Structure 1
Amino acid sequence: MDAAANIRFRLFAARYNHPVEVVVVRKHDFKMKVLSTTKKFEPLVMTSVDYKIQEFIGE
């Protein structure tokens, strides 16, 4: 993710007071990263969309 996109996502999260989930679709899987939380998240490689974001952010 480039710096300009990162700034946009952080501004959106600050304005609406919600974490932002960024998803990058690839051929057989996708990468998911959560931004703008107090906890740092590394990008996760996922193969199924059957997940709950609360499992990752702890709410």
Structure 2
Amino acid sequence: MWKVIVDIYPKTIKGTKGCHKYVFDKYKTKMEATQITDEINKLNTLGKAHFEKA
């Protein structure tokens, strides 16, 4: 399982005491996570995305 995380710094998520990271979703394969990460980073509107093993 892989999770895609979006770093939305310098914004914060309301109600999370200053959290700057948002777990976008979880994926079964690394390829899916890579594709979603690439799409988010291409848009360049949500923040910088990366993925890691869940």
Structure 1 length normalisation: TM-score? 0.30
When Rg is computed on C-alpha atoms for both structures, the one with the higher figure is 1
Judging by fraction of residues, say which structure has more strand.
2
Asked which structure has the greater RCO (Cα within 8 Å, sep 6+), the reply is 2
